[in-house]
Amino acid sequence: MSFRTVLQSEFDRRIARNPRYSLRAFARTLGIAHTTLSRFLSGQRRLTARAIRRIGATLRLDVEAHCSAENDRALLALLTRPGFRASSRWIATMLGITIDEVNLSLQRLVRERRLIMAGGNSWVTP
């Protein structure tokens, strides 16, 4: 389950308890701008590990698994972009995460057989 789904479920739960509960109120609770929250929920903005940790701490969630999953999803999406470079440094720059986080995601994706590194610049998803 993605962190975006968890966030949407929590918002829906609060609306079910109070039909007048708003996105702005939820954003205030989380300590972020309502426009940022709206973009997170709609998928227009990627949830970074920093954002997940901050929001997750407010909601008292275990966030490390969500951070890893978001990094994995973002890395797999990056593979399909034109001009993709099979470089940890380039990937880290594009995703706004550390090189160590990139390498951990790469190891996890290869181990789970969600990514095949066929050669230097030939990475594919099965």
Token pair of 9 as six digits: 């479920």
Q: Is the dihedral of CA 56, 58, 92, 98 positive or negative?
A: negative
The DSSP call for residue 19 is: T
pTM of the model: 0.75
- How high is the pLDDT of residue 100? 96
Q: Give dist(CA 104, CA 68) in Å, integer.
A: 8
Q: What is the mean pLDDT of each run of 10 residues along the chain (126 residues)?
A: 90 97 97 96 90 92 86 92 92 94 95 88 82
Q: Provide the 10 A C-beta neighbour count for residue 62.
A: 7
